[in-house]
């Protein structure tokens, strides 16, 4: 499933092409691509044609294009969730249909002329929707790429991501202290911190030398800070390399793959030597997926047994 870096690469690619562009036509080829939309395909098309796209914003794995022009009482946006295999591609006007194309949105850009924004999705778990924008509880911009303190209603429950300028690092550390679950499970909880999926959780935990089943609440303040720093470093490096592409499903708006797969230290490296200690990376089942880690560098802390023992865990140096 696309994670923060992959979705941000798509957002950044869309932004210059769609900002201030007028929507001239919408074609829904498969209504399964509108599972998050509350109306019919015809209503989806009618809600978009004639509107102007103001930009491109993102929170975690949710992407949206704020809309201007004739609208209901509340501001709206075209929201996209890519699911497992969704793609938003930029194509020339009149370009042949893409494989697995579900929706095509024709736009007239003041800088780039006529273009098509194509939503393609092989597994049909992704979706587009015209959604109301609601105020953010903290009064800060809704997400990356936005200056408006608004977020789509369907993404309002999603926490900010670690690269968001308004991310509350102290609040994140406090949340960890109150959770008994394993730290990887907490990192994947999009209501605690968004945008981190299986790949980048494994990579950040490897970098921070934390076992994925380490209870979040036993992390010291120092360990929590180190983990957040490693999460940010991993996401930023993945962004710089265009995201992680294992197959043709993970591409940018031009259909190009990312290269972060070549920089992975733990994820997908079962049986290969740990880049740090040389012992084999192991793979274990985790929430219908897998965890990859080094059992030597990322040891599960022993529980405290006596009242005098510290309950705080410091990862190996």
pLDDT at 307 over 60: no
Angle between helices 198-208 and 221-240 (to 10 degrees): 130
pTM metric for this prediction: 0.87
Residue-wise pLDDT for 191-210, tens only, equals 999 999 899 999 999 999 99
Residue-wise pLDDT for 155-193, tens only, equals 999 999 999 999 999 999 999 999 999 999 999 999 999
pLDDT at 313 over 60: no
Segments of the chain assigned E as strands: 22-28, 52-53, 57-59, 62-68, 76-81, 86-92, 101-109, 113-121, 127-135, 150-152, 282-286, 289-293
Q: What percent of the chain has pLDDT over 90?
A: 74
Quick one: tokens of 8?
């941000």
Rounded average pLDDT over 6-33: 94
Residue-wise pLDDT for 106-128, tens only, equals 999 999 999 999 999 998 899 99
Q: Note the CATH number of domain 4-155.
A: 3.20.190.10
pLDDT at 136: 97
pLDDT at 103: 98
pLDDT at 263: 73
Cα 149 to chain centroid distance, Å, stands at 19
- Pick among 3.40.50.300, 3.90.1300.10, 3.40.50.1100, 1.10.8.50: CATH of 169-293: 1.10.8.50
pLDDT at 308: 44
Going by the DSSP 8-state scheme, the letter that residue 215 receives in this structure is: B
Question: Which residue in 68, 14, 302, 198 sits closest to 313, CA to CA?
Answer: 302
Domain locations in the chain?
Answer: 4-155, 169-293
Going by the DSSP 8-state scheme, the letter that residue 218 receives in this structure is: G
Going by the DSSP 8-state scheme, the letter that residue 232 receives in this structure is: H
Residue-wise pLDDT for 239-279, tens only, equals 887 665 444 444 555 555 544 566 789 998 999 999 999 99
pLDDT at 36 over 90: yes
Instruction: Return the active site residues.
Output: 2-3, 61, 289
Annotated binding residues for DNA? 100, 123, 179
Quick one: tokens of 300?
């599960």
Annotated binding residues? 100, 123, 179
1 pLDDT band (50/70/90 cuts)?
Answer: low
pLDDT at 91: 95
Query: What mean pLDDT value characterizes the chain?
Result: 89
pLDDT at 287: 83
């Amino acid at each position: 499933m696309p994670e923060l870096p992959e979705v941000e690469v798509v957002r950044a690619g869309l932004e210059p092409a769609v900002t201030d562009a007028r929507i001239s036509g919408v074609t829904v080829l498969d209504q399964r691509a509108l599972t998050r939309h509350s109306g019919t395909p015809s209503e989806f098309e009618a809600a978009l044609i004639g509107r102007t796209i103001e930009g491109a914003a993102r929170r975690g794995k949710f992407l949206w294009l704020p809309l201007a022009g004739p609208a209901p009482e509340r501001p709206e946006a075209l929201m996209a969730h890519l699911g497992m295999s969704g793609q938003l591609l930029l194509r020339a006007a009149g370009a042949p249909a893409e494989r697995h194309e579900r929706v095509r949105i024709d736009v007239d850009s003041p800088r780039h002329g006529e273009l098509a924004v194509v939503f393609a999705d092989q597994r049909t778990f992704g979706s587009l929707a015209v959604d109301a924008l609601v105020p953010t509880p903290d009064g800060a911009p809704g997400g990356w790429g936005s200056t408006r303190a608004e977020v789509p209603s369907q993404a309002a429950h999603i926490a900010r991501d670690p690269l968001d300028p308004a991310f509350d690092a102290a609040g994140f550390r406090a949340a960890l202290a109150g959770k008994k679950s394993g730290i990887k499970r907490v990192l994947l909880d999009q209501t605690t911190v968004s945008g981190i999926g299986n790949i980048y959780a494994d990579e950040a935990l490897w970098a921070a030398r934390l076992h994925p089943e380490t209870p979040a609440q036993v992390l010291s303040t120092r360990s929590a800070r180190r983990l957040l720093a490693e999460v940010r470093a991993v996401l930023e490096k993945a962004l710089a390399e265009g995201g992680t592409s294992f197959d043709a499903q993970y591409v940018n708006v031009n259909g190009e793959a990312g290269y972060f797969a070549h920089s992975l230290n733990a994820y997908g490296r079962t049986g290969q030597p740990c880049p740090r200690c040389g012992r084999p990376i192991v793979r274990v089942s985790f929430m219908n997926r897998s965890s990859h880690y080094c059992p030597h560098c990322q040891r599960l802390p022993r529980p405290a047994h006596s009242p005098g023992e510290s309950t705080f865990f410091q990862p190996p140096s």
